[in-house]
Amino acid sequence: MSRSILDEAHIHPAICQMVAGHHADIVEEVLAAIARNKVVVVGMAQNPFPRQARKALDALGTPYKYLEYGSYLNQWRRRNALKMWTGWPTFPMIFVNGILIGGASELRRLISSGEFSRMIAD
């Protein structure tokens, strides 16, 4: 699968650093959490879907790292950097073994099919 990303050759050199460094700190923080944890949930306050994902993981007894970035009223620019980095448009963003599996609905499907258990057993 290939996803469209504007090629660097089509970004003016004067803004390359700005594009590359756009809230890079939040991406680095998520990357560090992914490197240290089998399951990472990235969410935001006031959004019920990260809470649903965490409840599903708690019910399974699966340890995870939760990172929360703002709410509907703040930090949307920082969260936007994560959306641009992953290509995933909503929260939560759930990573298992470093792989983005999607959000709460996708987690529920993987749990129901038994694939989630196989993924964390590896």
Cα–Cα distance for residue pair 10/108, rounded to 1 Å: 39
Task: Answer whether 43's CB lies under 8 Å from 67's CB.
Answer: yes
- The CATH number given to 23-121 is 3.40.30.10
What is the residue extent of each domain of the chain? 23-121
Structure confidence by residue, pLDDT tens digits, 93-119: 999 999 999 999 999 999 999 999 999
pLDDT at position 1 over 80: no
Cα–Cα distance for residue pair 118/84, rounded to 1 Å: 29
The secondary element (H helix, E strand) that includes residue 68 is strand 65-68
Structure confidence by residue, pLDDT tens digits, 16-46: 999 989 999 999 999 999 999 999 999 999 9
Report the SS3 class of residue 47. coil
